[in-house]
Every structure is written in C-alpha cells, then in structure tokens.
Structure 1
Amino acid sequence: MYTIKSLKKLALLGAIEKPVKISSSEFMYHISASSKTAARILKQLEEDGYIGRQLVTGGQMVQLSDAGVELLKKEYADYQQIFCREHADPELYGHVITGLGEGQYYIAKEGYMSQFRDKLGFKPFPGTLNVRLMDQSAHMRDSMDIFQPLVIQGFNDGERTFGGVKCYPIDVDGIKGAAIIPDRTHYPADLLEIIAPVKLREMLHISDGDEVKIVVKNPQRCK
C-alpha cells in the first residue's frame, strides 16, 4: 500500500538525483502515517531493494535505487495509458550524432526489410539516423513503452541468427519514420535509432550536432 506512495514522495524530495536526508518523524508527514510506521516503511523499502539508506545523525540519507526508479516508471506508464487518449503525441528532442555504421548492414537484410515493408508501410533507406536525446527527452523515452510496438521477428539467414526488433512509428521534423529498438541492444537509453523511407540527413539538411524533433505517434490517442 505504501510502497509507491513512499517512493513517489522520496522522488519529489529529490531522492532520484542524489541522497536526501530525512528522519522518520519528518517522513511521517509526507505519507500521513505514524513515525513508527514511517520508520518501518523506510526499512522495508531498503530490504526490498527500492532504496539505498545510510543512517546518520538526526536521520538517514536515502536515495532511490534503479529498481525503485523502474517501479515508479512503470506506475507512470500505467497512468499514461489510462489518460493518454486525451493527450497529444509525445515529443522528444535530441541532437544528430554519428552511429556505429551497423544500421546499413542490418536493415538491408531481407529478413528485416520485408517485415519493415509489410508492417511499417515503407521500404527503409538502408541506414539509420542516430539521435542523442536531451536529458528531459531521455527520461520521456520510457513513455514509448505504453504504446504497442510493431514487432519485427528475428530470423536465421542460414549463416547466423538475427534478433527481433521493436518499432515505434514516429515523425522526424515532419517526415514519417520509425524508432527501432533491437531486442539485443548495447545502446544507452538516451540514444534513439531511426529508420525512414528517405535519407533523413539529406532530406532535412541536417548533420552532426543539429537538433531534431521526434514525435512518437500514439495509436490510442482520440482523433
């Protein structure tokens, strides 16, 4: 009952970015509970792995763990799914960067290309646009998880196995495309890889460092 509420209050106090000092007698007012209950909840959150906690004079230093942050993100996604029909499509902003050069090789594989044509409605240019998301957009990227992705199945071409890919329809500065997230990926969370029916760098006259606007198309939004 108190887990989500307590994590939310700690996050609002700044405990995602850095440890915050708080005593049980202070925390009780944030969760409308007794001091004894507040102390028990903080101890339980630590035992469950949702926070890190260090006892200090006058209280404790508390910070949400990765597991605690993920739990809040899931709660956030649930609320977005409830209310997203009334909201505009999420907008992400980032800067163009040079990728690893692997996109052309993978996208050109017929096992992927045929599925892209069938499920996205276009034949992708054999290459990807890589965008490093700005801080706020990097946090917002998780909002994509509330949308049902178009799933590209993995396959074997007789020589090696290629993993599956999730696709999210997007617009990049007004041009139709898709963000692709491989099931097996080593990319950081703030990097977005984009395919489109055209070479986006040429069509949009953009190069490394230029800012682009990415609109994630929400199929559940009210028309």
Structure 2
Amino acid sequence: MYRTESLKKLALLGAIEKPVKISSSEFTRYTSTSSKTAARVLKQLEEEQYIERQLVAGGQMVQLREKGVDLLKNEYAEYRNIFCRDRNDIDLYGNVITGLGEGQYYISRDGYMSQFRDKLGFIPYPGTLNVRLDSVSAEMREKITLIKPIVVHGFSDGERSFGGGKCYLIEIEGIRGAVVIPDRTHYPADLLEIIAPVKLREMLRINDGDKVKIVVRDPQRCE
C-alpha cells in the first residue's frame, strides 16, 4: 500500500514527466509520516526500482521509473473496474506489414495456446497479423495500457523459457481477436501484433499495405 500511495503523491507533483526536487521533510506533508519514515520509503522505492533518485543540496531529485508508472496504471485499471460500467472502445488505424516470422513459432507453443483458449475464449491461428499504426493512432496507442489487460504468464517447456505478456481484446474488420504485447519486446510502439481464431490475411483478403481498422474493446468506462 505504501508504494502506491507514495508513487501517487510523487506523480501528482509531476514526477512522471520529469525529476522533481523534494526533501524528506517536505514529503511528510503528503504521506502523513515522520521525516525519518519518509526518507526510508523513498530509499526503499529506489531500491525496488520504482523511482530514480539523486541526492542534491537541500533534498533529492526524484522521478518515477517505468515500473512505478506501470504500478499506478494497474491501480487505475482496478478502480475503473470498480466504478465504471459503460463501453469505451478505442479505434486504431494502420497498414498491414510483413512481420519477422516469429509469431507462428511462439503462438503455437502449448503453454501459450492453453492460456489463450482459457482466457481469450478462442484458440488462435498459429501466427500473427502485424499492423503498423498511422501517426494519429500511434499516439492513441498508449490508451490501451489504461485498460485492464488479460495477463498471459511465462512458462518453460523443459528446454527453454518463454516470457509472459498482456492481451487486449479487439475486433478487426468485424472479426474478434486480441492484441498481444510481450513483456519483453523489440517491436516499436507503433506496431501491433494481432491474433485471431482465423488466418486474418485470408479471411479479410488483405495484403501488405492494406489499411485496416482495429477496435480495442474496453467494457469499462468512466464519463
């Protein structure tokens, strides 16, 4: 609990966008703790890699790291699930491109397939459709992370380990599927990997360069 509350206070001070200067005694105004406890909390957040911290004259420069931002996003998603009930879909547009050819190998692993079946409600075609978003949609892509994800856990097949990831339910030209975002990925932010229960290229008769519409489904919405 102390992590989320402390990170939230730092974020409200602007520590997501840039480093902010704060002393331990100043931080007590936001955490209702002693100066000694506030200093210990900041040090622990740094050790756990939620924040970056640099000691300076009169205090410290603090900024949230990606891990800290992700923790707040997860907290936000959980509150949305509690208080929001209307649909808020995200429309994205992009062009079909050729991927690196790795999708079929990874998607077809039993450790993934069983989770897709149980959590997404379908068995995906063993391959992914790769879509490069246009500039406007690429900027909107960050909104996906505000939706509570369907988590796919990593596993080992006895020979090698496979990482986990997050899935978000979508429709692409009327066909249901999911965007898959691996925890460790080398793909740029404007590229989406999509799985579906059918081979999308054949079903939609699309080729490289064709434009498609992707509707990310969010069953939770706050007005």
Flag whether TM exceeds 0.5 (same fold).
yes
User: In 2 relative to 1, CA 168–139 (structure 1 residues): closer, same or farther, beyond 3 Å?
Assistant: closer
Gaps of 5+ in 2: none
Q: Specify the code of the residue in structure 2 equivalent to 1:216.
A: R
Q: Percent identity?
A: 44
Other structure's SS at 1:213 match: strand
Q: Specify the code of the residue in structure 1 equivalent to 2:41.
A: Q
2:86 aligned partner: 87
Instruction: Quote the Cα distance in structure 1 between the aligned partners of 2:58 and 2:163.
Output: 52
The structural deviation recorded for 1:63 is 0.7
* Residues 1-223 of structure 1: pairs in structure 2 closer than 5 A: 2-24=2-24, 26-29=26-29, 31=30, 33=32, 37=34, 40-49=37-46, 50-84=50-84, 86-91=85-90, 93=92, 95-96=94-95, 97-104=97-104, 120-121=121-122, 124=125, 127-131=127-131, 134-138=138-142, 140-141=144-145, 143-145=147-149, 147=150, 168-180=168-180, 186-188=185-187, 190=189, 191-196=191-196, 197-200=198-201, 203=204, 207-208=208-209, 212-216=213-217, 218=219
The structural deviation recorded for 1:171 is 0.8
TM-score by length of 2: 0.63
TM-score by length of 1: 0.63
User: In 2 relative to 1, CA 17–182 (structure 1 residues): closer, same or farther, beyond 3 Å?
Assistant: closer
Gaps of 5+ in 1: none
Q: Specify the code of the residue in structure 2 equivalent to 1:192.
A: L
Larger Rg: 1
User: In 2 relative to 1, CA 39–178 (structure 1 residues): closer, same or farther, beyond 3 Å?
Assistant: same
Q: Specify the code of the residue in structure 2 equivalent to 1:141.
A: T
**For this pair of structures, how many residues does the alignment match?**
208
The structural deviation recorded for 1:79 is 1.4
1:69-117 deviation line (CA, Å, top 9, x unaligned): 2332332232133234x1314526364454212234555x596998678
User: In 2 relative to 1, CA 43–177 (structure 1 residues): closer, same or farther, beyond 3 Å?
Assistant: same
Instruction: Quote the Cα distance in structure 2 between the aligned partners of 1:20 and 1:113.
Output: 41
The structural deviation recorded for 1:48 is 3.4
Cα pair 1:52 1:62 within 8 Å, conserved: yes
Instruction: Quote the Cα distance in structure 2 between the aligned partners of 1:42 and 1:201.
Output: 59
Other structure's SS at 2:176 match: strand
Instruction: Quote the Cα distance in structure 1 between the aligned partners of 2:175 and 2:186.
Output: 24
The structural deviation recorded for 1:67 is 3.5
Cα pair 1:92 1:137 within 8 Å, conserved: no
Instruction: Quote the Cα distance in structure 2 between the aligned partners of 1:8 and 1:113.
Output: 34
Cα pair 2:169 2:217 within 8 Å, conserved: yes
